[in-house]
Amino acid sequence: METRLSVNINKIALIRNARGGNMPDVLKCAVDCEKFGAQGITVHPRPDERHIRRQDVIDLKPIVTTEFNIEGNPKEPFNKLVLSVVPAQVTLVPDAENALTSNAGWDTVKNKEYLRGICKMFKEAGIRVSIFVDPNPEMVANAAECGCDRVELYTEAYAKGYRENREKAIEPYFKAAEEAVRCGLGLNAGHDLNLENLRYFAQTIPALLEVSIGHALVCDALYMGLENTIQAYRRQLK
């Protein structure tokens, strides 16, 4: 089974917003990513709209032909936006409004009742629900009790420890993945995965369905071009 690559286009929108106007064109970039081999498009709109804007999300829905994944903290108006767009997947991420980027997974024990209600709401709308968690079997097991379909493992710790000792860095992820399989959950992963560390992660983690990659992929595209970069990431997943 080949792990699917979903390209996070937040950084494309960030570049556009730095100068105003519509260069680069976020919608065209999404279409081109799919044409070049991306198997999904991910966006993570934040309240300050510093990169992906609400209107981008609305405009992307009818043109994404692979799989549309919207990430974010399930508060209003995020929930209203997701329910109006109805993507294939919503990924619940507990990021603070002023966070530079996602920096922790959910505590699915303390937030179980809250997350259970959120999962029910989105699933009733026909949206697959994934919960962003640290590589901790307890958090995975309790995510399953929230009623989600998948968990997304937060891979920053793996990426940081990869060069020093990749076997040690991936060990908690393997255990978390085993727990996800035991609980009947689908398994996604994302954050700081790149061309150096992706292949080992994908080959080692059982039943990995999807990775979401944005920052590293866009950085590589500056040198390699977007089409070559997407194909390079796809090769790491085969």
Q: Which residues are catalytic?
A: 44, 71, 191
* 141 three-class SS: helix
Comparing C-alpha atoms, which of 217, 237, 152 is closest to residue 190?
152
Which residues have CB under 8 Å from 109's CB, separation 6+?
A: 138, 139, 142
Across-strand partners of 190? 154, 212
The pair of structure tokens assigned to 216 is 């590293």
CA dist 69 and 75 (Å) reads 17
Residue 81 CB neighbour total at 10 angstroms: 16
- The DSSP element (H or E) to which 167 belongs, if any, is helix 166-183
